[in-house]
A and B are shown apart, each in its own frame.
Chain A
């Protein structure tokens, strides 16, 4: 077979493939040009689009398509993001989204706009998938099962509070201990002044008893910095536990204002692609 023969055999398939690529990119260009967002998503991942929306299955491989737009993915994401973000914040208005630095394809999703709101997950603008943090959702499911007065950290909080009360009372007793120490020092000084030994043996016994007590008090006083440090640690624990509870409570309140329960909310998040595409199709 000549070179020309080989080329003649391969040419139609190659031309065909190039045409498909040109056609694909042309379709994508047209969709972007005409603001046909749904069409853009369909072109980016026809399998997902068709599977989810029961459309005719395309034979094109996603990987093949992906490679065609690999170098402009971030730009496509920047194009798609405003509409999607608007959809998310309109339909889940207690969620706040913040772009991930240096990656236009991703947005961090937080519950609420309060102080130190927790990150629920990450939204991929190109795939319209919200990857959520299972630990947060399971905590919320657990919290929802509790009565109004209960919290997940209630027992821990109670324990830490007890420890704090003990430590605080130890610290508060320091003035009393200082005074007691002063009295002992005075008494010891008085005994020392009675060197003549008028009281003999009883003086010695008293001195020993006082010295023991003095030693004990000094040792207790020396523990002050250590106790203060422990108190600080316990207060930090208490704050952490109370903050966790407060965050969960607010998150649950926000979700409950819109959904019957947490699983329904999670399901909604998992179906965000379908609901978004449906919404786009209705436009």
Chain B
């Protein structure tokens, strides 16, 4: 089985499994409890907070543990919008955000907030100058660090500068970037930043929202004083220590892994170009994550490709996993202006820690066979010129 769907979810790193197993076996108490067992749990929680802070370069007390990227995006964006409500009820959201951010914007829209969408160019990135046209009552802008479908890295530092010059706060979904490229909250200048455990070798069910420098943020879940009053609910300690261990491991291996994955990506892309001279790699000209290839093989519809590849032991995804089940072309590719006939052929291959050159070569072979089968299934696509 060749797993090229690491942007959907990653295997849990051994050190994370070990940390979780230890927590499950030894740290049973509630970290809010005053007794020693509770304080031992608390100490493990704070150690994990430092490990997360180490990966994304923020202060430990700025880290708020949440149940994953989706909750983190809601807690950051909704929390900021409500906290800044006195100054306006409008936010700017890039057109290529993950469903989690669009979903949070939708919750706010139902609450009477206005949403402005920031466009992207054909290479899939947001131009910082697009912030200049946002109306004066805008309070928060959301731009992700790396797009989950194309891997295109957004110019977040430049966007933060423009945002702050206008008194706007910046929310950044770094779920796909963390662990794959360096993420430095201070250098990026973001106010809110989100990571997710299961995208970087940690467990599912845990993530972190970083609220920097006391940026205003109302709690999404009210309750007791957990997480400094920023998130009610008993902390998921095994998950949190797993996230901490995964962050520490990812930070340690970041440089080497980044270079290794980039070489694999280049091998995959040159193989694709050789096999399919008409293949289009989306966002190819932009800076991208080292592990992600979003490619359209004209005439080979992605749902047919997915099934054909799965039958050959290669697991990939069409667009984002969260959009699976939907047949419409990806909104991210649509925002980049990719024609519909090409967009319905988009495949996302995302490599990870266990991926090897042999797997890349084997996947290329499977892609060639699968494309032949897929093209036969949709002759109308193969015959018609891309619109």
Decide whether A and B assemble into one complex: no
